Amino acid sequence: MRNPVQLGLLLLALTAIGVFGYNVYLRETTPPQRAYTEFLAELRQGTIAKVHFRGQALTGEDSASRPFGTFVPDVGALVPLLLEKEVAITGEAEVTSGVADGLKTLLPFLLILGGWLIFSKKPSQGNFGAGRGSRFTPVKSERITFADVAGITEAKEELQEIVEFLKNPAKHSRLGGRIPKGVLLQGAPGTGKTLLAKAIAGEASVAFFSMGGSDFVEIFAGVGASRVRELFAEAKKSAPCLIFIDEIDAIGGRRSGGQNSGASDEREQTLNALLVEMDGFDSEKTIIMIAATNRPDILDPALLRPGRFDRQITISLPDVKGRLKILEVHAKKIIAIPEIDLAAIARSIPGFSGAEIANLVNEAALTAAKRNKAAVEMTDFEEAKDKIVMGLERKSIVVSEKDRRLTAYHEAGHAIVGLLLEETDPLHKITIIPRGRAMGLTQQVALDERHTYSREYLLNRIAILMGGRAAETLVFNRLTTGASNDILQATEIAARLVCEWGMSPAIGPIAYIRGSEGFLGESGKVKPHSEMIARRIDHEIKHLIGGCYDQAADVLKKHNRFLHKFAEALLLNETMDAEEVDIVYRRYLKERDIERLLTENGGKNDSTNTHEQTEVFS
């Protein structure tokens, strides 16, 4: 009962039992009540046998031995009538305090006490460890090793050294070297930071203390700092060991220099306690602290200096080889046919993190199970990928034939511009089936990982985005809202091309966005500039987008017949992959070449020309 929550619940339960029992007692012992006038009428008729007075409350029995009760407004006037009818009379003095009054008095206090014990989280300094002891015991779970971690080879190699430190600290300190005190794992969500920390503990076979940064945060002053001190005290008892704090930015954010609210002041006290404890590691105790965050840009510099977090390891999104290895790890956990091409799946999911790849494999297994299949097939992976990337199919939506045709030409415009321009990513899939918030989607997938982008690639990307609007205007001579997201993306690329990457000849290699991107893509700060520069930037962005639109329109006008054939094929099939698009394109080229040969021969259709055409296109 040292836990105040348990004690409060016990008191509330006992109070409820007491009130319930008292109500049952009253119901069983209290006789039926009669009106006073009814009692007087029965008394005058001589049917009352005996009565008992308790103050002005009267109980008794009638001649049939039936108990009753009533309230007597004037006891003095009633007694002569009772004596006249020879009714047996007993009585007692009215008791002003008893069980009922005691319960009525104590019940509010018991309820208040129980509620306070339940909702009050402020622990006393003496029994803090008793109430929170489970927080500071080593985590016992299934052993995880580096074999369970895939796709981040460089980070694993760097952390192998940490394992060696924990296994054999004397080997590395014999020449005077100092074991690192802390390792900061920074990276996008889902890249495997927590899994890496568990793998280090599993490889080294040492005690592993795991907490979240928010576990230290409380509204009561001093609680967070007290928890930090207690955590490190327990870790020293279990050395050698690992301390892992996930999402350390919850307590390790940059301090505000004295202009604090109450909550931030408590967070800064917790951070100060953490800094002191990391400095106070006993040299004889092998304790390594690992922290994970996806916001290293907001951490306090004092936390990142050597001597605290000596090593900072960035966990990047996996490349195509890393994605393949992660797929292989998770594919072993499901039943799949041997013919599944994991390499093709890895190439088609650029930008997926390890967690997203695990979710993809799980969704594929659930899709196959829903269709009552004996094993997961490639189509299940494709369906799962489309669900994650594009959203669920909106099967219930009613799309008119006019809107379907408009969507088909819109998506065909994207695909044709991307297919016919030189420096672009290959087309992977095109669909006019509504998914998520989109009425259709054209998906391109790069064959190789791109780390830098040329000006030509970026301009072609804008032209591809403008291809949908250009196709709508060319075929239907109207503007719709279907291109809103395309325009938004094109404007963002053009703005960064001008203001951040210095690729505009009119503006020059000057960055008007300082700080580039944040760690996870947060926008940078805008560099102060004059109104004249702002007008030049706006004009250049408009000029770039307008030029790319004209380029897309020219491509579609030149290949107008291909646009119509592509859209008709898309209306018929609804979804087309790269191979099907290639078939339509080759057929279009063959028909165009036949027409050109006929035109060059003056439209003659003799046997010689027919034989030559058959020989060329057989």
Catalytic residue annotation? 411
Q: Are 323 and 329 in contact (CB under 8 A)?
A: no
- Written as one letter, the residue type at 346 is A
Tokens of 437: 């918030």
Q: Are 148 and 195 in contact (CB under 8 A)?
A: yes
**How far, in Å, CA of 276 to CA of 278, rounded?**
6
Q: Are 8 and 114 in contact (CB under 8 A)?
A: yes
Task: Please report the sign of the dihedral spanned by the C-alpha atoms of residue 369, residue 372, residue 375, residue 376.
Answer: negative
Q: Please, which residues have CB within 8 angstroms of residue 433's CB and are 6 or more apart in sequence?
A: 393, 440, 574, 575
DSSP 73: S
DSSP 136: G
**How far, in Å, CA of 357 to CA of 331, rounded?**
10
- Alpha carbon 440 to chain centroid, angstroms: 26
Cα separation values, 432 from 347, 395, 428, 592, Å: 23, 12, 14, 27
Q: Tell me the β-bridge partners of 52.
A: 59, 90
- Written as one letter, the residue type at 75 is V
**How far, in Å, CA of 203 to CA of 414, rounded?**
50
Bond from prior residue into 108 cis (ω within 30 degrees of 0): no
Which is nearest to 416 in space by CA: 382, 350, 463? 463
Tokens of 195: 């899994």
Q: What angle do CA 400, 404, 405 make, to 5 degrees?
A: 120
Q: Sheet with 48-54: list strands edge to edge.
A: 67-71, 57-62, 48-54, 88-92
Q: Are 251 and 213 in contact (CB under 8 A)?
A: yes
Q: Please, which residues have CB within 8 angstroms of residue 197's CB and are 6 or more apart in sequence?
A: 185, 208, 210, 242, 244, 246, 290, 292
**Angle of helix 401-420 relative to helix 560-573, nearest 10 degrees?**
130
Cα separation values, 110 from 12, 18, 34, 119, 229, Å: 7, 11, 36, 14, 35
Output phi, psi for 85, to 5 deg.
-85, 5
**How far, in Å, CA of 525 to CA of 513, rounded?**
5
